[in-house]
């Protein structure tokens, strides 16, 4: 949380307006509505446009140190459009580029909205989003064959609806399951996302911040409500049979436990041990082991992925600088397209080796720069960035997983003692080169704390 005393920002602009909370909150709190409407990930693009307008109206933009690294990636990614060879792939390229830019705007918005988007508020919004994800998972458990035709299905042209991905977006299903497959596998929860892997990626990145939120709302009703939901969330989580999610959660738990052990935080270690016991009980009560064994025996997902990654790498060598602009069909019949099944493989194949290096360097940079984060949200946030850097190896994280990682990074990258640049309903004026909050409430607060003029309370 921000300190009681703040230093003035290094760069001073003209009058500033507070950045409102609602564009940020609308994305995550309204996600069930966007899912039912068939909007899907495009809500991030729509919200980014609104956020960009607010940032432009505000008149000053601050960026975190090292942001140029990400800008280089964006520039290289956009330049790789030269590898596109068809109109359909160009549409996909524009869509993915829009999602990258939307995640970028979200990062900048949260980084600059220090007055309204503090750690407790952001962690609270993400906790509500986690509840939405868990509810979607339970919907898949209880009604695995449920499908919903969204309003978008009646709006978009038939030619566009014939696209498989678009069809999945406008006709929502709550599980990922192919009843025509020769492999008799059980449905796996996926709602409110298209794919089970996205569900697992988002769940593994949200759970640490949910636990951190519990620390900030101790001795409240919300604490007990969220605490009760955690073991219930394990049911759909386990039934996704999502090995990548298990790896991500294991990395997060090991990292938090290591930090707690080094600081001799025995209560944290005790809480993790209790959580592990609950996990073991739920795992034993569910047919997870049997379903996972059946899945591994009847399919060769691990071998198939390894072969796909090898093909992706070898074909990338033929276009190493700018890639192919988009994934291409695999040379193996029935296999997923080359450049899928992992964000880093998508970047490598679609945008080239330099783009992949810049992408990974940015994620590592974020994890390194935030390694000293303090507090429950700080430690959980850093664990999320570590998980993100791991899961890009086998998950597609564009856009929800990347957006969560970016907004958490924005929280942790803020200067530790930087002042909020505005207060609700009031402008920040500049007096003798220092932002001065023109509000009687803040003047009295400054006098009560003994804070000199020119330093915001």
Euclidean distance between CA atoms 170 and 39, whole angstroms:
8
Residue 57 CB neighbours (<10 A):
10
What total number of domains does the chain contain?
1
Mean pLDDT, the chain, rounded, equals: 86
> How many CA atoms lie within 13 Å of 170's alpha carbon, on the beta-carbon side?
16
CA 305 to chain centre: 23
Domain-embedded: residue 357: yes
Measure Cα distances from 237 to 140, 196, 369, 399, 404 in Å.
11, 10, 31, 20, 19
Is-contact 306 66, C-beta < 8 A? no
Domain-embedded: residue 428: no
pLDDT value for 248: 97
pLDDT value for 164: 78
Is-contact 319 352, C-beta < 8 A? yes
Helix (H) or strand (E) holding 381: helix 375-391
Given a cut of 60, whether residue 119 has pLDDT beyond it is: yes
- The mean pLDDT value for 86-106 works out to 96
- The mean pLDDT value for 439-445 works out to 48
Q: How confident is the model at residue 428 (pLDDT cuts 50, 70, 90)?
A: very low
Euclidean distance between CA atoms 408 and 126, whole angstroms:
10
Domain-embedded: residue 123: yes
Instruction: Render pLDDT for 373-407 as a digit per residue (tens, 0 to 9).
Output: 999 999 999 999 999 999 999 999 999 999 999 99
Q: Which domain holds residue 162?
A: 22-178+186-420
Instruction: Render pLDDT for 342-376 as a digit per residue (tens, 0 to 9).
Output: 999 999 999 999 999 999 999 999 999 999 999 99
Could you report how far apart the first and last alpha carbons of the chain are, in Å? 14
Domain-embedded: residue 194: yes
Euclidean distance between CA atoms 357 and 362, whole angstroms:
9
Cβ burial, residue 455 (10 Å; 0-12/13-18/19+): middle
Q: Which residues contact residue 414 at a Cβ distance below 8 angstroms, ignoring those fewer than 6 apart?
A: 64, 111, 114
Helix (H) or strand (E) holding 152: helix 152-155
Domain-embedded: residue 13: no
Of the chain, the percentage scoring pLDDT greater than 70 comes to 84
Domain-embedded: residue 413: yes
- The mean pLDDT value for 214-221 works out to 92
- pTM score, two decimals? 0.86
Euclidean distance between CA atoms 110 and 62, whole angstroms:
11
User: Of 73 and 164, which is predicted with more confidence?
Assistant: 73
Instruction: Render pLDDT for 243-271 as a digit per residue (tens, 0 to 9).
Output: 999 999 999 999 999 999 998 989 989 99
Secondary structure in 3-state letters for 22-53: HHHHHHHHCHHHHHHHCCCCHHHHHHHHHHHH
Is-contact 107 141, C-beta < 8 A? no
pLDDT value for 130: 98
Is-contact 302 292, C-beta < 8 A? no
Measure Cα distances from 301 to 149, 180, 284, 287 in Å.
30, 18, 24, 20
**Phi-psi sector, 323: left (phi>0), alpha (psi -120 to 50), beta:** left
Instruction: Render pLDDT for 184-198 as a digit per residue (tens, 0 to 9).
Output: 567 899 999 999 999
Euclidean distance between CA atoms 424 and 439, whole angstroms:
11
Q: Is the bond preceding residue 399 a cis peptide, omega within 30 degrees?
A: yes
User: Of 251 and 163, which is predicted with more confidence?
Assistant: 251
> How many CA atoms lie within 13 Å of 441's alpha carbon, on the beta-carbon side?
4
pLDDT value for 114: 92
pLDDT value for 296: 66
Is-contact 161 153, C-beta < 8 A? yes
Domain-embedded: residue 327: yes
Domain-embedded: residue 363: yes
Q: How confident is the model at residue 111 (pLDDT cuts 50, 70, 90)?
A: very high
Is-contact 436 453, C-beta < 8 A? yes
């Amino acid at each position: 949380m921000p300190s009681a005393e703040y230093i003035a920002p290094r760069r001073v602009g003209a009058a500033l307006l507070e950045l409102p909370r609602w564009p940020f909150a609308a994305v995550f709190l309204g996600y069930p509505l966007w899912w039912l409407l068939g909007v899907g990930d495009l809500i991030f693009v729509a919200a980014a446009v609104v956020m960009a307008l607010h940032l432009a109206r505000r008149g000053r933009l601050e960026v975190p140190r090292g942001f140029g690294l990400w800008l280089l990636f964006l520039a290289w990614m956009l330049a790789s459009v030269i590898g596109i060879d068809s109109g359909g792939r160009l549409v996909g390229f524009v869509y993915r580029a829009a999602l990258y830019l939307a995640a970028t705007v979200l990062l900048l918005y949260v980084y600059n909205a220090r007055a309204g988007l503090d750690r407790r508020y952001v962690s609270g919004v993400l906790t509500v989003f986690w509840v939405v994800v868990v509810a979607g998972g339970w919907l898949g458990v209880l009604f695995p064959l449920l499908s919903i035709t969204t309003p978008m299905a009646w709006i978009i042209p038939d030619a566009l609806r014939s696209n498989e991905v678009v069809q999945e977006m406008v006709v929502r299903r709550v599980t990922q399951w192919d009843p025509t497959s020769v492999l008799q596998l059980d449905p796996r929860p996926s709602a409110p996302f298209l794919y089970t892997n996205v569900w697992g990626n988002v769940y593994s990145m949200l759970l640490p911040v949910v636990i951190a939120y519990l620390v900030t709302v101790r001795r409240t009703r919300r604490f007990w409500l969220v605490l009760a939901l955690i073991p219930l969330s394990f049911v759909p989580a386990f039934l996704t049979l999502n090995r990548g999610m298990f790896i991500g959660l294991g990395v997060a738990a090991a990292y938090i436990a290591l930090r707690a052990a080094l600081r001799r935080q025995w209560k944290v270690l005790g809480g993790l041990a209790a959580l592990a016991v609950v996990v073991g009980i739920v795992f034993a009560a569910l047919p997870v082991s049997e379903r996972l064994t059946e899945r591994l025996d009847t399919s060769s997902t691990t071998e198939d992925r390894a072969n796909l990654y090898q093909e992706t790498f070898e074909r990338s060598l033929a276009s190493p600088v700018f890639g192919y602009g988009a994934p291409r069909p695999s040379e193996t019949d029935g296999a997923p397209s080359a450049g899928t099944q992992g964000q880093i493989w998508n970047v490598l194949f679609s945008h080239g080796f330099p783009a992949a290096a810049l992408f990974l360097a940015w994620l590592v940079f974020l994890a390194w720069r935030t390694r000293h984060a303090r507090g429950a949200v700080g430690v959980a946030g850093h664990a999320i960035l570590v998980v993100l850097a791991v899961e890009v190896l086998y998950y597609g994280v564009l856009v929800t997983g990347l957006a969560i990682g970016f907004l958490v990074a924005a929280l942790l990258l803020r200067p530790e003692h930087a002042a909020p640049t505005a207060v609700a309903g009031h402008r920040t004026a500049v007096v003798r080169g220092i932002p001065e909050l023109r509000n009687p409430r803040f003047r009295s607060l400054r006098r009560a704390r003994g804070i000199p003029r020119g330093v915001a309370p």
